[in-house]
């Protein structure tokens, strides 16, 4: 074995889980991403998708993608910087900026690439980045790529954030970056406190709203709007792969910041642009959200309903104000076993394991879609409660 691949040979974690019959990943989906799916030949209730508003199966969104594919072809074969900018990209950016309340927007080819491109484009070796410990992996990678000094603070710990801010020269370049809605716990960042500290210490604020757009705020406008702080947040980032039912990502900010990114962000400049069909579906999904704010309200109502039903059955959950519902499962083996049992009984959820959690704080992550019905939720709650009770993880 060549030295480079020795670490690959030593890696046995996945095979150990396979051998134990507990491997939870790469289940094959054989239907559309919807409230009910077919996975590996069997019907499952989908409680593990980020398709929050259910728009992946919306007829208008699908038609927009098909029309763009037929009219504009399969791809752009180049970067936005050169031959890859369609009028469709420009329309999408304009409507995204208007929706979230910023001057301009810049679309990236993926959500992960968005964070890489924004953070590494804005920050450099003489700057400082203040990062919540539970931020998404793409934020961490963007911070590393930037060359700036990274200062991580404990999750939502504003006292520690202030201490770290105070330790840096007041006139140094500083960025506070945080998830808006944290993807594992479903909690919302303490944005009012972050904005106050940013003003005090002359820092810029960036919010990753991948799980906030379409979920909170007026008509789904996200975390900054939820707190009435859109004007105080310098950069809003989100993805197309969740509420917007497509693939890609964007940043929204003041015009001069967006223009700087377009000409200085390597992940933006040197990547092929979003294919026409993906761009068109994101644009149509945005229009559906804008015209149907009741979708966001309905999702919130379903979330309240399911949490109440789970608690009434004694299921232990972490309280959150969003459609992300974390269920206590403690250790990794128990978590994998419960996830497997639920899957076999027709409910798909996501196991959350180290390094995303500490070894004894593993979770099952339930995420809801507006396309779910109360009947499906009731069916899923019954299966979850039965399984958790069998494992001794209910209060009944």
Instruction: Give me the active site residues, please.
Output: 183, 211, 242
DSSP states of 18-54 as a string? HHTT---S-PPB-S-SSSEEEETTEEEEE-B---TT-
For 287, the 3-state DSSP assignment is helix
DSSP secondary structure letter of residue 240? S
Q: Which DSSP state fits 107? A: E
* Interatomic CA distance for residues 242 and 21, integer angstroms: 30
Q: How far apart are CA 310 and CA 205, in angstroms?
A: 36
Other C-beta atoms closer than 10 Å to the C-beta of 124 total 11
Query: 121, 261 in Cβ contact below 8 A?
Result: yes
Q: CA 280 to CA 65: how far, in whole Å?
A: 5
If we measure between CA atoms, which residue out of 237, 224, 257 comes closest to residue 111?
Answer: 237
């Amino acid at each position: 074995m060549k030295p480079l691949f020795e670490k690959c040979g030593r890696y046995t974690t996945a095979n150990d889980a396979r051998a134990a019959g507990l491997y939870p990943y790469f289940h094959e989906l054989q239907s559309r991403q919807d409230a009910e799916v077919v996975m590996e030949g069997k019907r499952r209730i989908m409680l593990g998708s980020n398709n929050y508003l259910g728009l992946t199966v919306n007829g208008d969104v699908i038609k927009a993608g098909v029309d763009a594919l037929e009219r504009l072809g399969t791809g752009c074969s180049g970067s936005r910087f050169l031959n890859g900018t369609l009028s469709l990209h420009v329309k999408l950016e304009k409507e995204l900026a208007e929706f979230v309340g910023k001057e301009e927007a810049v679309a990236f080819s993926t959500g992960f690439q968005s964070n890489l491109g924004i953070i590494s484009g804005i920050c450099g070796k003489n700057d400082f980045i203040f990062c919540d410990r539970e931020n998404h992996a793409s934020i961490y990678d963007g911070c590393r790529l930037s060359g700036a000094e990274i200062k991580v603070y404990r999750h939502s710990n504003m006292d520690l954030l202030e201490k770290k801010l105070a330790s840096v020269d007041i006139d140094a370049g500083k960025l506070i970056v945080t998830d808006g809605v944290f993807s594992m716990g479903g909690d919302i960042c303490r944005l009012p406190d972050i904005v106050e500290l940013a003003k005090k210490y002359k820092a810029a604020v960036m919010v990753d709203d991948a799980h906030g757009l379409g979920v909170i705020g007026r008509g789904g406008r996200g975390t900054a709007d939820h707190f009435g702080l859109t004007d105080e947040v310098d950069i809003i980032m989100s993805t197309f792969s969740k509420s917007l039912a497509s693939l890609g990502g964007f940043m929204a900010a003041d015009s001069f910041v967006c223009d700087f990114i377009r000409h200085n962000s390597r992940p933006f400049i040197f990547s092929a642009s979003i294919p026409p069909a993906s761009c068109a579906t994101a644009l149509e999904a945005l229009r559906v959200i804008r015209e149907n704010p009741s979708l966001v309200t309905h999702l919130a109502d379903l979330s309240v309903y399911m949490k109440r039903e789970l608690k009434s059955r004694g299921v232990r959950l972490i309280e959150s104000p969003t459609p992300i519902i974390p269920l206590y499962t403690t250790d990794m083996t128990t978590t994998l076993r419960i996830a497997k049992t639920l899957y076999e009984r027709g409910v798909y959820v996501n196991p959350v394991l180290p390094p995303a959690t500490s070894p004894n704080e593993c979770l099952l992550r339930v995420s809801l879609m507006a396309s779910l019905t109360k009947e499906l939720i009731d069916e899923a709650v019954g299966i979850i409660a039965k399984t958790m009770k069998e494992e001794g993880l209910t209060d009944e």
